[in-house]
Structure 1
């Protein structure tokens, strides 16, 4: 974690556990579970916006003891999934946030480690949310720059620290 704090007092929001439609179907008394399993045996369940959000919501902010969801850096409506293309838009807490690239890199690494190889992932800042929006977007979506960043052990250690508790998937410890 760098010495300079870019946003010393961020707004922290309450989070809610996500209830997925598939979870509701599992609890239904009216569904014949055996028939549903037989009908869907050959189908690949597509990944949706909520699943992507579950993967990234509990990534820790590099500056604060809060998750990206608690700081409203990420939210489900900022995620778009079309076929094998995932677009994640995130909003830094302040327009001059020096951690934006690190946050975006953490999101990218989490998704690359979690999604099948067939998915293409784009990470972008919410338009107008950062003073260096174009430069940060360019860094986050350039394969060579991402690979070079992940070869830097200090940077990789910081990313790993942000991802250390990401498996919580929206649930408190």
Structure 2
């Protein structure tokens, strides 16, 4: 079964923002045009790339939002998909640091062992 950008968007758009009772899709944090799927001809793996647009350049929960999106996709997509979640360049001055954290498997695993963080992400995903 083929999975396209619209299906990925539909998986993550309903995620609730941790600060506001609104979805990431309605806030414009996730946008269809910032989702891409890459399948190199020599590989059976497909990389899903999602770029997030924080609501403000000073958003303090950008990493948590990225973690929520990553967890949602890792739990929803078949194992042949790699998930790459990052912050859209130029949208916040912490994009490089957040992107480094979100691409580090060990940091993501450690974050998901933190009970408080698991609770926040669980609340974000409860609407999905």
TM bucket, shorter chain: over 0.9
2:30 corresponds to which residue?
74
State whether structure 2 residue 14 is matched by structure 1 residue 58.
yes
CA RMSD of aligned residues (A): 0.6
Counting only pairs closer than 5 Å after superposition, residues 84-163 of structure 1 correspond to structure 2 as: 84-163=46-125
Provide Cα deviations, 1:84-120, integer angstroms capped at 9, x if missing partner.
1100001001011101000000000000000011111
Tell me which protein shows more strand as a share of its residues.
2
Unaligned runs of 5+ in 2: 40-45
How much has 1:131 moved relative to structure 2? Answer: 1.1
Matches of 1:124 and 1:152, distance apart in 2: 21
Q: Calculate the TM-score normalised by the size of structure 1.
A: 0.70
Matches of 2:92 and 2:55, distance apart in 1: 9
Unaligned runs of 5+ in 1: 1-44, 167-173
Counting only pairs closer than 5 Å after superposition, residues 3-82 of structure 1 correspond to structure 2 as: 45-82=1-38
Structure 1 runs (4+) deviating above 4 angstroms are: none
Matches of 2:117 and 2:102, distance apart in 1: 14
Matches of 2:55 and 2:124, distance apart in 1: 16
How much has 1:46 moved relative to structure 2? Answer: 1.5
Matches of 1:64 and 1:105, distance apart in 2: 17
How much has 1:56 moved relative to structure 2? Answer: 0.1
